[in-house]
Structure 1
Amino acid sequence: MTLRTRQALVRIRAVLLAGTVLALVTSYLAVSGVVRTADQISSATSRAILEVAAARDALVSADAAAIASFASGEAKLAGPGQEYENRMASASQSLARVAEFNQAGDPGAGTLQTVEGLVASYSGAMSQADAHFRQPGAELVGLADLWYASRLLHAPDNVLELLGKLQKDERTALDSQISGTRMSAGLLILWLLPPIVLLALLVATQVFLRQRFRRRLNPPLLGATVLGLGVVAGLLAAFALAGRLDTVRGNVDQAVAVREKSIESADAGGHARLATLLQQRCGPSGCGSTVDDFRRQTQTTSTAAPAQNAITSAARAVTTAGAAATESGGLPILVPTALILTGALVVAGLYRRIDEYRYRP
């Protein structure tokens, strides 16, 4: 009888420790996966998407500013203008940040390299337009350079279209990261199962010890049970944390939508001025079918641009949501620590009983 009791206690300890190890591994993977993905989305993915949109906005605004300078005649004195220079500098900075935060992998990096080459070509063409516009009698050649530069941005498979594709790829990466971390109801139950089973085993052990040794409670095992409940609470907190990533995604989409309005407004204004300039310089004979088609398709009305503070507020909302999503409260440390202590309490709670039977005849 003594040997059987000791063997039973040893088996119970082994089962409890095995359950603790299983809960430790699965809980740590669940919690650390959520926190790691939240950090990645907050520090890289969301910023990559916003920087692509900012680069598109800056390039379109730079083009519109240059066209306005040439259309008004200011280009003879100041070239494309200071606004053009400022916007091009902003675009360059945004593209550098996209390269830093890129989550679209090698295809995204390849697209960025192509875009940077085309932007350099655009800048060169704009410089040629400036030089020709300053030369008496060479305005038409300068206009051709200006047209070519603008088409480097707007034509199919050129800068803006490539950046639009890159923005979609970064957005797809965001969706993939969130879906890979999402704790659906079924997956949550799967993660909760090991600690719940461990809790059931701890309660069953308490019942066994009470029946066998006439003791109401085993304090170390009671402490282990409390820690197990804490682990369950930690997993539920991780589930809530994963839900915050949807808020980040929604704010990213809102910030991009505000940028799109700014892009549409600047693009429409730039196209309208370029169409007017072409009409003035080309005369009745026109400048070719491609230019004529552009003039016919260009809208004379432009959409209202959002205020700069609206763009800033939308970007700040993304940052705030990202920070909230990464506030884990130390779960990646607390959850495994609680389970390690649980294992120690299991050993401590059963040690005396096993030790007693070791020397009993």
Structure 2
Amino acid sequence: MTRPTRGMSSLRSRRPSGSRTRRLLELHLAVMVVTALVSMTALVVSYREVQNAAGEMRTRAAPAVQGAAATQLALLQAHDEARKSVRAGIDKVVGPGARYENQLSAAGQGLSRLSDVQIDGVRGRGVLETVTGVLTSYSSSITPGAVKYVDDDLMQRQKMQEAYRLLSRPGTGVVPRLDVLQGHQMQRMSRISSMGTLQRTGWAVAELGLLLMALTTLSALWVLRRRCGRSLDPWLLLSLLATVALAVVPLWATTATQERLDTARGRLVEIERRAHAHTDLADDQRYVTVNSADLRGRLAAQSWQSWTYYGALGGGALIVLLPVAGISRRLNADYWRAE
């Protein structure tokens, strides 16, 4: 009777240790799954926000700011060319006269394009509708002043002054209205291209979650090796590698994209400054045209941005499924099946 008693005692002494190991592994599995889900949700949402910001900057914000600046300069240049033609005599300045008409036509086309990309919403559309109407009145004044009344100085001055008031009258002129629209667009552009508090918080949650995920995976590997006598589990090793990759690659991609957005914001601020400088309209126009084309190239969509996003989705699925496969397999083989 003594020997069976000793066997039962030995079995009872081993059960608490095995039960504790099982609960420990189950706790590791629960922590890893919850941490993976939370961190991946924060990471995917945060990275998507940066992608969306880059896309909106490329397709709407940058063209809107560039378009408003180019339209203002075209209007001012048109008026300057018209004044030159009046001072020199229209019969002697066919070139400047043609340039004035070209600039006015460019301004009209710029307004049409701007209405498609402006980022000030309903308020912006209202401003552009008003500007288009005022520009029609401006054209009706400047064209007779520059072309029709070449032999009537009094009428010519009256038409030119009327055109200038329509162009630059504070509050109601074409250029001041475009200034108001541009101011709103610059504010919107700055918000789009800057990483806000929520985005920074999202990245902090994602990176801290992935760090916790990596530490928990290492702890699970240690438990399996020391308490269960198992070698390094390949599923957990793959999960650890996927976790490290997710902590590094999307963050690097986001940093690179944000640097491009910061650079674009600086270039747009400089373009807007040159549009208001009015020191040399022709030189300012060239600057805006050249830098706008260069900025479009810099903001062109990069294929690696989409690949990084889909790679993050795939990596997120891995760091959820691999721990389940690895730890559940051990739990089933060593504990669950034996119950």
Task: Give the TM-score taking structure 1 as reference length.
Answer: 0.79
In the alignment, which residue of structure 1 is the partner of 2:180?
Answer: 165
Shifted more, 243-252 versus 68-77: the winner is 68-77
1:307–1:174 distance in 2 versus 1, CA, 3 Å: closer
1:218 corresponding residue in structure 2:
233
Q: 2:194 aligns with which of 179, 182, 197?
A: 179
Aligned counterpart, 1:152? 166
Pairing partner for 2:325 from 348, 351, 356? 348
CA drift of 1:106 comes to: 2.2
* Cα distance, 1:77 vs structure 2: 9.8
Q: How big is the shift at 1:214?
A: 1.1
Tell me, yes or no, if structure 1 residue 317 matches structure 2 residue 261: no
Q: Which runs of 5+ in 1 are unaligned?
A: 267-304
Q: Distance between the aligned counterparts of 1:227 and 1:184, measured in 2?
A: 23
1:244/1:324 contact within 8 Å kept: no
1:228 corresponds to which of 243, 255, 272 = 243
Change in Cα spacing, 1:155 to 1:87, as seen in structure 2 (3 Å) is same
Partner of 1:143: 157
Moved more, 350-359 or 182-191: 182-191
Check conservation: 1:125, 1:148, Cα contact below 8 A: yes
For residues 329 and 62 of structure 1, what CA distance do their matches in structure 2 show?
43
The CA deviation at 1:70 is: 2.4
- Residue-pair matches, total: 320
Match of 1:298 in 2: none
2:36 maps to 1:20: yes
Deviation at 1:311, TM superposition (A): 3.8
Native 8 Å contact 1:27 1:336 kept in 2: no
Q: Could you tell me how far 1:11 is from its partner in structure 2?
A: 3.7
Checking the alignment, whether the CA contact within 8 Å between 1:182 and 1:243 is kept in structure 2 is no
CA distance in structure 2 between the aligned counterparts of 1:338 and 1:55, rounded to whole angstroms: 47
1:12: Cα distance to partner? 2.9
Distance 1:97 1:64, change over 3 A: same
Cα distance, 1:146–1:79 mapped onto 2, change above 3 Å: farther
SS in 1 for 2:232: coil
Q: How far apart are 1:128 and its partner, in Å?
A: 4.0
Residue 216 of structure 1 aligns to a residue whose secondary structure is coil
In 2, distance between residues paired with 1:200 and 1:130? 77
Matched, 1:36 2:48: no
Mark the runs of 5 or more structure 2 residues left unpaired by the alignment. Answer: 1-14
Pick from 237, 241, 245 the counterpart of residue 261 of structure 2: 245
Tell me how far apart the structure 2 counterparts of residues 329 and 23 of structure 1 sit (CA, whole Å): 20
Report the Cα distance in structure 2 between the residues aligned to 1:62 and 1:31, rounded to whole angstroms.
45
On the 8 A contact 2:83/2:146 being kept in 1, the answer is: no
Q: How does 1:264-275 map onto structure 2 within 5 Å?
A: 264-266=279-281
Distance 1:318 1:220 in 2: 46
Whichever residue aligns with residue 157 of structure 2, its letter is: L
Matching of residues 14-163 of structure 1 within 5 Å: 14-74=30-90, 81-129=97-145, 132-133=148-149, 138-157=152-171, 158-163=173-178
1:190 to partner: Cα distance: 3.4
Q: 1:336 aligns with which of 306, 313, 323?
A: 313
Q: Does the 8 A contact of 1:34 with 1:242 survive in 2?
A: yes
Does residue 1:254 correspond to 2:270, yes or no? yes
- Larger displacement relative to structure 2 (51-60 or 97-106): 97-106
Offset from partner CA, 1:136-173 (integer Å, 9 cap, x none): 6x442232112101211112121111111211211111
Stretch of structure 1 that moved more, 49-58 or 177-186: 177-186
Identity of aligned residues (%): 25
Q: Give the AA of the match of 2:164.
A: S
8 Å contact 1:70–1:79 — kept in the other structure? no
- Matched residue of 1:176: which SS? helix
Deviation at 1:62, TM superposition (A): 0.8
Give the AA of the match of 1:155: R
Give the alignment's Cα RMSD to 1 decimal: 2.9
Give the equivalent residue in structure 2 for 1:279.
Answer: none
Match of 2:52, as an amino acid? R
Distance of 1:93 and 1:168 partners within structure 2: 21
